[in-house]
Amino acid sequence: MDQLTWGGVTQSTYNDYCRRHKLPHKDVKNLSKEETIQIYYNDYWLKSGLDKENDPIKSLIIFDTAVLHGVGRTKEFLNKSNGNLNKFLELRREYNKNTIEKHLDQKEFEKGWYNRIDRLEKILKR
């Protein structure tokens, strides 16, 4: 499960980006700001349907989840929560717990993952 990331973009995501744009394979550490923006916009924002979402808080929560867990898992959380953002974040918390139980090497990310959810929950309560 160990994979290099840079600016929230994994090496495999960057490899896909380079292939799609017919660019030579590069280390994700060489990712430019412009490429990061393109990846976030095309691979996470648009694929999550956020170009059609009017609620900025919902957009933030969905986007953050898509970047961290992928668009497919994000859509799964949305379906299971019936769009209820509190339930959505609860599912995300549960997913993180299960990930750490199955992959002990991921425990080092636990605090950061839960801090992200805690911050999103605070924003949601405003």
Domain ranges within the chain, ordered by starting residue? 7-46, 54-126
CA–CA dist 72, 64 (Å, integer) = 13
pTM: 0.88
Q: What is the pLDDT of residues 94-122, one digit of tens each?
A: 999 999 999 999 999 999 999 999 999 99
Number of Cβ within 10 Å of residue 87's Cβ equals: 14
Task: Mention every residue, 6+ apart, whose C-beta is less than 8 A from residue 8.
Answer: 36, 40, 67, 68
Phi, psi of 9 (to 5 degrees): -105, 130
pLDDT in tens, 8-60: 899 999 999 999 999 999 999 999 999 999 999 999 999 999 999 999 999 99
